[in-house]
């Protein structure tokens, strides 16, 4: 059976020693009183909930899955899920980062992000039920009318009601301009919505009193394509004027998907038959509200893989210390045993260090993005808001794609550490691999994220935002350029930073002549950009650790951080050279292949 220990020490290191999030958050009026002890105390309790309440349900939930009553269309979640959710609501976890105006606790988003990392480590499938609600809440908070906010946000903040996003249809996934769901205006200002949606996470379940669906649909006179899409609130139960639940709405679960992983998360086929909905925002402008939810979800999906990378690493490390197999190539290490623990073998350490490096680099990036999100919405200075939003827009596809790709690499590596036992259910490792696999697909496949990064976020503004990130690297290089102990961390990012300008210009010029060149290079390009970002944060973490050690701090935590940084730059970061070469290979070897597919 697997185990999980919340990585509180590393979270504290990232927040308080590397990013100094409290000092940054104090610039925002609603966080003027935030302090380190408050953040640490909340996350300590959150870690207990994750490890003690929902982690024990992970394997059993995967085995039991969800069940659908075809007669009533009711979905039952695995044993213990509903009760755990009640504990979550009663303890106030649902309201952690929500607006106090609607009953929220108003804590910084970085606290919520760290809490959700622990929930994802403990049980990704369970976490999807409350997790989807945050995106729906954010969309309504940003684009809902005052009446809509008063009707829905209090209950969503408390966790009494959950939320979903209903985008995908059987014939279209990311290409939402092809959707067919119709919305007919009614005399009372509502709409009757008819259509079919698939792959709706937490679309139907028994954990909350009501489910608030945010549904994309077309008005009768809507223009074709994505410019003809509107957004609607479609609750499972209609809400009376006094806030009580009314009659059952015309939206129900017509089937559950049978999936490779996250089996305890109800992935529903939703049928809408004259379902009553109210419009969010303006007609044919539905993507404005939905993008709020989609961007929140993309950051959340990166956090899912971060959580799985961490828990897989913890269990692989424990196994590698205990499992004996063969002798060390440099002679016996455990002379009192018949063989040495497998952690003495170089390749086992490589697999463990890969997972550790990707978990800790991902944690730093997630925390940084959470602070950017806070600044974008709430910083009193307009320029700070604009700059934060611009940087977050560029980093979001990297968080989604790079962290989930890394999660795939790391969970598979950790399963490999277990050898044959990793392939067996009772150890839990194969579930981490299966659960992570969807993270590379939903909320926009990683190829789509790569096209978004290169086409829109980089070439779309001629590399302006990338250059701003380059200035952060240049500042670090200037600080540490003469420090010999930092050279192995500074030199690689300085060199890659310079190479990125030429690399980006070259791909952009080729893409101007032939757009397929961008498509052919995008996935490799995002991974190079991901390493540039990770390299920056690993250099900053090494900087802090080395300073602590130089000041006489003997805590082995700092030495471990430096050793992991050293591994990352020596064994993982050099992947960028190969990726730039394959990206430059162009589209001809892909597109001039009709004979292959004839």
Tokens of 433: 């691999």
CA angle in degrees (0–180, nearest 5) for 72-76-77: 160
Residue 126 domain flag:
yes
pLDDT, position 175:
83
Based on the fold, state whether residues 576 and 467 are members of the same structural domain. Answer: yes
In this structure, what DSSP letter does residue 324 have?
A: B
Give the helix/strand (H/E) hosting 69. Answer: strand 67-69
pLDDT, position 14:
98
Total count of domains within the chain: 3
In this structure, what DSSP letter does residue 54 have?
A: I
Q: Which of 287, 315, 350 is the last residue of a domain?
A: 287
pLDDT, position 1:
87
Please answer whether residues 235 and 151 qualify as being in contact, where contact means their C-beta atoms are separated by less than 8 angstroms. Answer: no
Residue 500 domain flag:
yes
The pairing of beta strand 237-239 with beta strand 74-76: unpaired
Rounded to an integer, what distance in angstroms lies between the CA atom of residue 486 and that of residue 479? 10
Tokens of 119: 């929930």
Q: Which of 222, 253, 287 is the last residue of a domain?
A: 287
Based on the fold, state whether residues 120 and 225 are members of the same structural domain. Answer: no
Based on the fold, state whether residues 128 and 171 are members of the same structural domain. Answer: no
pLDDT, position 176:
79
3-class secondary structure per residue, 429-485: HHHHHHHHHHHHCCCCCHHHHHHHHHHHHHHHHCCHHHHHHHHHHHHHHHHHCCCHH
pLDDT, position 464:
97
Residue 327 sits at φ, ψ, to 5 deg, of: -115, 155
CATH assignment at residue 200:
2.40.110.20
Residue 207 domain flag:
yes
3-class secondary structure per residue, 15-41: HHHHCCHHHHHCCCHHHCCCCHHHHHH
Catalytic residue among 443, 480, 517, 548: 443
Residue 580 domain flag:
yes
Contacts of residue 345, Cβ cutoff 8 Å, sequence gap at least 6:
326, 328, 329
Written as one string, the DSSP assignment of 536-583 is HHHHHHHHHHHHHHHTT---HHHHHHHHHHHHIIIIITTHHHHHHHHH
Kindly list the distances between the CA atom of residue 503 and the CA atoms of 166, 464, 508, 532, 580, in Å, as whole numbers in the listed order.
38, 14, 9, 13, 8
pLDDT, position 372:
97
Residue 382 domain flag:
no
Rounded to an integer, what distance in angstroms lies between the CA atom of residue 477 and that of residue 487? 9
Residue 424 domain flag:
no
CATH assignment at residue 86:
1.10.540.10
Based on the fold, state whether residues 137 and 250 are members of the same structural domain. Answer: no
Burial profile 402-434: b = 16 or more Cβ within 10 angstroms, e = fewer: bbbbbbbbbbbbbbbbbeeebeeeebbbbbbbb
Written as one string, the DSSP assignment of 128-169 is HHHHHHHHHHHHHHHH--HHHHHHHHHHHHHTSEEEEEE--B
Domain range enclosing 264: 162-287
Rounded to an integer, what distance in angstroms lies between the CA atom of residue 347 and that of residue 353? 10
The region, left, alpha or beta by phi > 0 then psi within -120 to 50, assigned to residue 195 is left
**Is the model's pTM score more than 0.95?**
yes
Kindly list the distances between the CA atom of residue 177 and the CA atoms of 170, 200, 234, 390, in Å, as whole numbers in the listed order.
13, 18, 20, 26
Q: Side-chain half-sphere of 370: how many Cα atoms within 13 Å?
A: 28
Length of the chain: 598
Based on the fold, state whether residues 108 and 180 are members of the same structural domain. Answer: no
Based on the fold, state whether residues 134 and 172 are members of the same structural domain. Answer: no
Residue 365 domain flag:
no
Please answer whether residues 364 and 537 qualify as being in contact, where contact means their C-beta atoms are separated by less than 8 angstroms. Answer: yes
Rounded to an integer, what distance in angstroms lies between the CA atom of residue 244 and that of residue 214? 20
Tokens of 479: 């600080």
In this structure, what DSSP letter does residue 71 have?
A: T
Helix runs in 323-417, H state only = 346-378, 382-417
Based on the fold, state whether residues 458 and 578 are members of the same structural domain. Answer: yes
For residue 83, indicate whether it is catalytic.
no
Residue with tokens 């190829």: 447
Residues in the chain predicted with pLDDT less than 70, given as ranges, are none
Kindly list the distances between the CA atom of residue 96 and the CA atoms of 110, 121, 266, in Å, as whole numbers in the listed order.
11, 19, 24
Based on the fold, state whether residues 139 and 217 are members of the same structural domain. Answer: no
3-state helix, strand, coil in the chain (%, to 5): 65, 10, 25
Please answer whether residues 237 and 249 qualify as being in contact, where contact means their C-beta atoms are separated by less than 8 angstroms. Answer: yes
Tokens of 496: 């890659």
Q: Which of 91, 113, 143 is the last residue of a domain?
A: 143
CA 126 to chain CA centroid, Å, is 15
Please answer whether residues 24 and 36 qualify as being in contact, where contact means their C-beta atoms are separated by less than 8 angstroms. Answer: no
Residue 122 domain flag:
yes
Based on the fold, state whether residues 167 and 123 are members of the same structural domain. Answer: no
Rounded to an integer, what distance in angstroms lies between the CA atom of residue 584 and that of residue 329? 40
Based on the fold, state whether residues 136 and 166 are members of the same structural domain. Answer: no
């Amino acid at each position: 059976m697997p185990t999980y220990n919340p990585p509180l020490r590393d979270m504290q290191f990232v927040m308080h020693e590397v990013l100094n999030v409290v000092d940054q958050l104090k610039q925002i009026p609603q966080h003027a009183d935030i302090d380190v002890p408050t953040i640490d105390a909340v996350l300590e309790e959150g870690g207990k909930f994750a490890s003690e309440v929902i982690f024990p349900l992970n394997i059993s939930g995967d085995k039991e899955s969800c069940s659908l009553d075809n007669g009533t269309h009711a979905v039952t979640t695995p044993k213990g899920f509903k009760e755990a959710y009640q504990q979550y609501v009663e303890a106030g976890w649902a309201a952690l980062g929500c607006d106090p105006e609607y009953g929220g606790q108003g804590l910084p988003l970085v606290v919520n992000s760290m809490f959700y990392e622990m929930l994802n480590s403990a049980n990704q499938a369970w976490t999807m039920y409350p997790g989807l609600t945050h995106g729906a809440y954010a969309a309504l908070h940003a684009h809902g009318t005052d009446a809509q906010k008063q009707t829905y946000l209090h209950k969503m903040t408390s966790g009494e009601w959950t939320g979903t996003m209903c985008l995908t249809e059987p014939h279209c996934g990311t290409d939402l301009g092809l959707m067919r769901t119709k919305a007919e205006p009614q005399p009372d200002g509502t709409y009757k919505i008819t259509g079919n949606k698939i792959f709706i996470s937490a679309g139907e379940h028994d954990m909350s009193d009501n489910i608030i669906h945010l549904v994309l649909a077309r008005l009768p006179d809507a223009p074709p394509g994505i410019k003809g899409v509107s957004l609607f609130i479609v609750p499972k139960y209609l809400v009376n004027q006094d806030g009580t639940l009314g009659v059952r709405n015309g939206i129900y679960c017509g089937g559950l998907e049978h999936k490779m992983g996250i089996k305890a998360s109800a992935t529903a086929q939703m049928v809408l038959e004259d379902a009553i909905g109210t419009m969010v925002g303006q007609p044919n402008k539905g993507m404005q509200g939905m993008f709020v939810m989609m961007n929140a979800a993309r950051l959340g999906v990166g956090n899912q893989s971060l959580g799985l990378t961490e828990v897989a690493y913890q269990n692989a490390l424990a196994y590698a210390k205990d499992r004996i197999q063969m002798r060390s190539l440099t002679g016996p290490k455990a002379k009192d045993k018949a063989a040495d623990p497998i952690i003495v073998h170089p390749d086992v350490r490589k697999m463990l260090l890969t997972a550790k490096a990707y978990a800790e680099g991902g944690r730093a990036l997630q925390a940084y993005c959470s602070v950017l999100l806070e600044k974008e919405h709430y910083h009193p200075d307009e320029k700070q808001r604009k700059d934060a939003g611009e940087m977050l827009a560029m980093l979001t596809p990297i968080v989604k794609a790079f962290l989930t790709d890394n999660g795939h690499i790391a969970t598979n590596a950790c399963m490999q550490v277990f050898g044959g036992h990793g392939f067996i259910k009772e150890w839990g490792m194969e579930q981490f691999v299966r659960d992570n696999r969807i993270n590379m697909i939903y909320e926009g496949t990683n190829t789509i994220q790569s096209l978004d990064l290169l086409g829109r976020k980089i070439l779309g503004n001629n590399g302006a935002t990338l250059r701003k990130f380059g200035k952060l690297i240049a500042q670090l290089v200037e600080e540490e350029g003469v420090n010999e102990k930092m050279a192995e961390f500074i030199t690689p990012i300085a060199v890659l930073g310079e190479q990125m300008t030429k690399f980006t210009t070259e791909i952009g010029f080729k893409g101007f002549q032939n757009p397929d060149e961008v498509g052919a290079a995008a996935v490799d390009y995002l991974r190079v950009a991901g390493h540039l970002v990770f390299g920056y944060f690993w250099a900053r973490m090494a900087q802090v650790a080395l300073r602590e050690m130089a000041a006489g701090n003997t805590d082995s935590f700092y030495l471990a951080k430096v050793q992991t940084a050293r591994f990352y730059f020596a064994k993982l970061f050099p992947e960028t050279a190969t990726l730039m070469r394959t990206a430059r290979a162009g589209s001809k070897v892909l597109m001039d292949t009709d004979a292959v597919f004839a």
